[in-house]
Amino acid sequence: GEQPQAVPGRQGAGTALENHFAVIPADRTWRPQPLLKPLVDGPQSAVVTGPAGEEIFCDEHGRVRVKFNWDRYNPADQD
């Protein structure tokens, strides 16, 4: 297609436009390729956190909560 010039005082052929696309039938379900899980390159250091006044706090499954230095979204004082 062609798009006419929008700049006043400039007469000409305009700008040529071209578009390419692929389609799939409407009765087919399209699914994007699954995203690959990010890989962690090497060990990561973290600080064990927990309620105030306890040296090490484990839950009923023996797990501890840690705070990674790069974690910007979870506050360090979360218990």
* Prediction pTM value: 0.42
Q: Mean per-residue pLDDT for 38-45?
A: 89
Alpha-carbon distance values, 16 to 13, 67, 72, 73, 77 (Å): 8, 55, 47, 47, 59
CA angle (47 as vertex; 46, 52 as ends), nearest 5: 160
pLDDT at 51: 82
How do the domains of the chain map onto residue ranges? Answer: 42-79
The per-residue pLDDT for range 6-35, each reduced to its tens digit, is 666 666 656 778 899 999 999 999 999 999
